[in-house]
Amino acid sequence: MEYDGVLVEYLHLDHMEEVSPCEKIIKDKYYSFYLPTSCSSKTKQKATKVRVVFNASRSTSSRNSLNDILFTGPTLQPDLVLLILNFAFIQIRIQRKRRKNVQTNSRT
């Protein structure tokens, strides 16, 4: 399927809709925003699959990108350093328990 065909399919599935060529901004509030797209495909496979890539970091005529105006929520991923430290701490506790079990078993 070619790039244009994918976009037509998006229209039929209501994943996108045709709009006016200008962004609607009223009192610094965005009522529309346009995501630039590009095409990505894998040619090493038997069936070449075309994918649409959306670029939410590209600035538009308003000098803002969609990423600039979206609400930034809390970080959902755990802090990597804390994750590694917790894993190391758990490993240390497991090793200590194993040593205690070996010591008590050898005394009996």
The mean per-residue pLDDT over the stretch 88-97 comes to 81
Q: What tokens appear for 17 in the block?
A: 């809709």
19-66 tens-digit pLDDT: 777 767 778 776 677 778 888 877 776 767 788 888 888 887 778 888
pLDDT value of position 13: 94
User: Is the model more confident about 13 or about 106?
Assistant: 13
Phi, psi of 8 (to 5 degrees): -65, -40
From residue 26, give the alpha-carbon distance in Å to each of 21, 23, 34, 56, 79.
16, 10, 16, 21, 39
- Whether residue 4 has pLDDT greater than 80: yes
DSSP state of 78: P
